[in-house]
Structure 1
Amino acid sequence: MSDPDPVPLEPTWGEQARDMFRSLSRLNRPRYWLATKGSVWLAAICLLYGTGGAVLGWRSAYEVLVGLQAPGDARVPAYGYVLSVLGWLLVPALIGGAVGYLVTHQIEQRRTVDAQELLAQMRREAGLASDPPQAGE
């Protein structure tokens, strides 16, 4: 008498979470960053701003974060300086990152010649038949 075919086991919650995290590598770079590291940064910023809203008041926390109010004029100046530094570092980084991504994306869309083909063309025009010799050859 033979054993019946084994019943396939349902994957556990931990296995499903592991598989979902591993599948993130299929995303393009900006989406991968947003899903992995960006979410951590966003959570930290929300935590700091939420704490600032509780400590300084929501309007004051916003005004200190965007630079409309001096951090020393806040109810708790030490936390006002923390929010101010966060605002000075965060806003330019987000704007610079978004613009950099958009410009790179537009350049990649308009690129008609492959980088390797362009390098080969430059070598032909320079009269090089092969790669230049390496140091020590």
Structure 2
Amino acid sequence: MEQTRDAFRSLSRLNRPRYWLVTRGPAWLTVFGLLYVVGGVVLGWRAAYEVLVGLQSPGDTNVPAYAYALGLLGWLLVPAIIGGAAGYLVTRQIDRRRTVDAEDLLAQMRRGAGHLADPPQVRE
């Protein structure tokens, strides 16, 4: 019991995306999967997939009300998941290649431009 408690408390050490994936991700994935499975049973697997990714109109299915809900889910959730994953991976690659701190880089650029300090403030 204590090991489970300690493992749960140690999740706060994770960065934001990993923390979200571990704590909130399974619930979202379960709901998403459940809606897709119900859509597969009600609409047919091919129709559920095509409505989810936007290849087929929800109005052209056997149960348009459910298909509209599934289509809305796909329209909102699928791009968010793909965009979030792509953004996270791009940020990781940028951070991995960054060898100079942003403040040091700004100081280098200022020295290269020929001025060492910020311009004086103008008083009105």
Structure 2 CA distance, aligned partners of 1:51 and 1:19? 37
2:45 pairs with 1:58: yes
Candidates 82, 91, 94, aligned match of 1:104: 91
2:8 pairs with 1:26: no
Candidates 30, 48, 59, aligned match of 1:43: 30
Shift of residue 121, structure 1, vs aligned partner? 4.9
Candidates 104, 112, 123, aligned match of 1:117: 104
Corresponding pairs, count:
118
Structure 2 CA distance, aligned partners of 1:20 and 1:107? 30
TM-score normalized with structure 2 length: 0.77
SS at match of 2:18: helix
Where do 4+ consecutive residues of structure 1 move more than 3 Å? 118-129
Structure 2 CA distance, aligned partners of 1:76 and 1:20? 44
Candidates 57, 70, 89, aligned match of 2:76: 89
Shift of residue 100, structure 1, vs aligned partner? 0.8
Q: Which amino acid aligns with 2:94?
A: I
Q: Which amino acid aligns with 1:60?
A: A
Q: Which amino acid aligns with 2:105?
A: L
Q: Which amino acid aligns with 1:19?
A: D
Q: Please, which runs of 5 or more residues in structure 2 have no aligned partner?
A: none
Partner residue, 1:3 = none
Q: Which amino acid aligns with 1:114?
A: D
Partner residue, 1:128 = 117
Percent identical among aligned pairs is: 70
Instruction: Give the structure with the larger helix fraction.
Output: 2
Shift of residue 68, structure 1, vs aligned partner? 2.1
Aligned-residue CA RMSD in angstroms?
Answer: 2.4
